[in-house]
Amino acid sequence: MFINTLVAPLRAGMAAVLCVCLLIPTATAQQPTTAPTQNQQSPGLTLEALEQMAIKNNPTLAQAEAAIQAAEGRRRQAGLWPNPVIGYEGEGLAFNSQIYPYRNGQGVFVEQTILTGGKLGKSKTIAAQEKAQTQAEAEAQKLRVLNAVRMLYYEAVGAQQQVALRQQLAELTREATEISEELFNTGAADRPDVLAAEVELQRAEIDLLRAQNEYQRVWQTLAAVVNDPKLKPAQLENSLETGAPVLIQEELLATLLRDSPELKRAMVGVERAKAVISRAKAEPAPDIYLRGGVGYSNEWAEFYGGKTGWEGRLEAGVRVPLFNRNQGNVAASKADLTAAEREVQRVELALRARLAESFAQYQTSLGVAVRYQREVLPRAQRAYELYLAKFRQMGAAYPQVLFTQRTLFQARTEYISSLVELWQHVVKLRGLLLTGGLDAPNGVAGDAGNMGAGNN
C-alpha cells in the first residue's frame, strides 16, 4: 500500500507526459506533410518547370526530331531524277608503230534514263507517308515523356509525404520508448511494455529507411527523364489531395480513338501500303533510254569527196516488260496492305483494352481514396483517441496505444499511396495511355529509296 501511494502520483505524471507525446499525431493529422529537412534546402519545383526541362533535354525527343528530318531527306531523295552519264567514245582506233596513233572517229556522249509511269511521284508519295508516320511517332514520344514526368511528379510528392510521415512516427515512437523506460525504472510500467515500445521503434526506423530510399529512387528516375543528373530533391507542392477530375469512359474512348498518335501512325501505314502498291504496278511501265553525242570522223565520204568530219549520234530504246512485270512485288505489296489494315484494327482493339484496364484501376484508386478519407482514417483516428484516453485513465495498456497509433499511421500511408495511384491513372487516361519517357521512338518501316528507280 505504501509503495502504491508513492508510485501513483509518479505514474499519473509520467502518463501525462506520455499522453502529450502521443497526442501530437492527433493535432497534426490534418496538416499537410512536408519534405524531409535535408531536402528543404533546394528551391521548390513545379510540374510545369519539370515538363519544360524534359521537353528541352530528353534525348528521345531529339531522336524523334532527327527521325523526321531523315524522313524528309528520304522524301526529297525519292523525287530526284537519276543522274545522266557523260563520257568519251572512240571508233576504229589503230596504232602504227612508225607514226602517231590513227583515230577513225571520236566524240563525247550523254546518256539519260527517262522514268515513265509516274514512278518518281509515286516513290515520293511513299516517302511522304513514311514522314507522316514519323511525325505521328514524334507526337507519341512527346506524350510519353510528358506523361512520365507527370507520373513521377505525383510519385515524388507521395514519397515526400511518406518520408515526412515516417519521420514523425519514428520521432514519436522514440520519445514514447524513452518514457516507457523511465516508467519501467520507476515501476510504473512492465518490462513487456518497454519491449513492445522498442519493437515499434525499430519497425518505425526500418519504415523510415525504406521511405527515404524510395524518395531518392523517385528523384533519380525523375532526373533521368528530364536529363538533368544534377537535379536534387526539392520541395514539391502537395497536390495529391486536390480534387481529382471525374472522368467518363465513353468520352475518354472517343478522344483516344480520335487523337491517339498510335492509331494515326497505323492509319498512315495503310496509306503507305496503298502507295507501295501503286508504285509496284507502275514498275512494268518501260523507261526510255536516250543516248546522244557529237564526234569527229576521219572516214572518207564519197558523196562530197572528203572526210565526214563532225557528226551527231542519237540512240533510243525501252526495256520490254515481257517476262518480268513485277508480279511478285505487286502481290507482296497487296499482302502488306492487308496487314496494314489489320494493324489499324489491332491498335484500336489494344487501345480499347488498355483504356478499360486503366479506367478500372482509376475507379478502384478513386474508390479506395474516398473510402480512406471518409471511413478508414476517421475511424483509425477515433480508435487511437479512445485508447489514448483510456491509457490516460489507466484503463488500457500501453501496447494497445502503440497498436492503434501504428494502425493510424499505416492508414495514412495507404491513403497517400492510393492518391498517387489515382493521379497516375488520371495522367495515363488523359495522356492517351502513352508511357515510357526513356524508350526510344519506334522506327518507320520501309525505305523510299528502295522503291525509286535510278536515284543515284
Grid cell, residue 318, equals 525501252
Grid cell, residue 236, equals 514539391
- For residue 223, the model assigns a pLDDT of 96
The C-alpha atoms of residue 55 and residue 45 are separated, in whole angstroms, by 16
Is the distance from CB of 358 to CB of 433 less than 8 angstroms?
A: yes
Grid cell, residue 412, equals 495514412
Angle at 343 between CA 355 and CA 256, to 5 degrees: 30
The C-alpha atoms of residue 52 and residue 50 are separated, in whole angstroms, by 5
Grid cell, residue 347, equals 491498335
Lowest mean pLDDT, pick from 310-314, 334-338, 354-358, 412-416: 310-314
Q: Where are the beta strands (DSSP E) in 270-345?
A: 288-301, 306-318
Is the distance from CB of 369 to CB of 419 less than 8 angstroms?
A: yes
Q: Which residue reads 471525374 in cell numbers?
A: 246
* DSSP assignment letter at 305: T
Residue 111, beta-bridge partner list:
85, 291
Determine what percent of the chain is predicted with pLDDT higher than 90.
58
Domains and CATH numbers, the chain: 2-81+131-264+346-451 (1.20.1600.10)
Which carries the bigger pLDDT value, residue 364 or residue 305?
Answer: 364
Q: Are strands 288-301 and 85-94 parallel, antiparallel or unpaired?
A: unpaired
Segment 386-410 shows an average pLDDT of 80
* Residue 447 pLDDT exceeds 70: no
What are the Cα distances from residue 15, in Å, to 6, 8, 172? 15, 10, 15
pLDDT digits over 89-137, tens only? Answer: 877 665 554 544 445 668 898 999 999 999 999 999 999 999 999 999 9
The C-alpha atoms of residue 417 and residue 409 are separated, in whole angstroms, by 13
What H or E segment, with its residue span, contains residue 337?
helix 327-371
pLDDT digits over 202-219, tens only? Answer: 999 999 999 999 999 999
DSSP for 141-167, please give it: HHHHHHHHHHHHHHHHHHHHHHHHHHH
What are the Cα distances from residue 182, in Å, to 24, 49, 176, 400? 20, 51, 10, 19
Residue 293, beta-bridge partner list:
109, 313
pLDDT digits over 164-210, tens only? Answer: 999 998 998 888 888 878 878 887 777 887 888 888 889 999 999 99
DSSP for 390-404, please give it: HHHTT-S-HHHHHHH
- For residue 398, the model assigns a pLDDT of 67
Q: Are strands 306-318 and 102-114 parallel, antiparallel or unpaired?
A: unpaired
DSSP for 66-113, please give it: HHHHHHHHHHHHHTPPPPPEEEEEEEEEE--SSSPPEEEEEEEEEEEE
Is the distance from CB of 273 to CB of 337 less than 8 angstroms?
A: yes
Angle at 173 between CA 171 and CA 175, to 5 degrees: 70
The C-alpha atoms of residue 163 and residue 207 are separated, in whole angstroms, by 9
**Residue partners of 409: CB distance under 8 A and separation at least 6:** 25, 165, 169
pLDDT digits over 350-371, tens only? Answer: 999 999 999 999 999 999 999 9
**Side-chain-side CA neighbours of residue 21 (13 Å):** 23
